[in-house]
Amino acid sequence: MYLLPHERRMIVVKNIFKWLDINFEPLCMAILFYAITGLVTLQVILRFVFATGFSWGEEVARFMFVWLMYFSIAYATRNQRHIRVAFVIQKFGDRGHKMFLILGDIIFLAFSVFVFLSSIRLCQSVIKYQDMAVTIHVSLNIVYGAGVVGFFLIIIRLIQSIIWKVKRFSEAMDVFENYAGKYSGAEAVCFFPREKATAEAGSNKEEK
């Protein structure tokens, strides 16, 4: 089948966005996690074996942990992995349960927008007063910026979640809720072992 150049470009762009939708947060989380682990391990070895170390190691590790936390929240939001107590709302039947879940996402979205705007104002204040990190002498926005980026991602994921739920309101509760991103490609993260992804896909089919 022949495709026009603009159609090919659209397919490429669509595939890129699909790849980022699945892989962006977990890839950032993996890089930050291993960077923190490596830095802290090296710092311990230098301190207890060679009686030396980096003056900036602990602060940089804390900053990376903050970024890791925000990426993790966005990833959990995408895959519906937040802890919630559903005992009461389940008493309203599937329809009522679904409406409460959508309402919960909308409330969380409003809260996230508020915090996102507050984070921007905080970063503007840091620029105005030129607040600097103690050991690495860079703007504190290197850590406060995590709130801006993190809540921006959370807002995107919540909008995706609301759209998913509205479109699938009439479908089975399992599909509607999409716990663990089972129906939106969460098992297709690029660095997941293929055998594991295949096994999970098989187990999902058995559950259906």
Q: CA angle 123-125-130, nearest 5°?
A: 95
Range of the domain at 188: 5-207
**Tokens standing for 49?**
């074996």
Local confidence pLDDT in tens for the 208 residues of the chain: 667 777 788 898 999 999 999 999 999 999 999 999 999 999 999 999 988 888 899 999 999 999 999 999 999 999 999 877 676 677 788 899 999 999 999 999 999 999 999 999 999 999 999 999 989 989 999 999 999 999 999 999 999 999 999 999 999 999 999 999 999 999 899 988 876 545 555 555 445 4
Within 10 Å of residue 177's Cβ, how many Cβ atoms?
A: 20
- Distances in Å between the Cα of 51 and the Cα atoms of 11, 43, 47, 54 are 56, 10, 5, 11
Domains in the chain, number:
1
pTM given for the model: 0.88
Which of 108, 100, 91 is CA-nearest to residue 176? 100
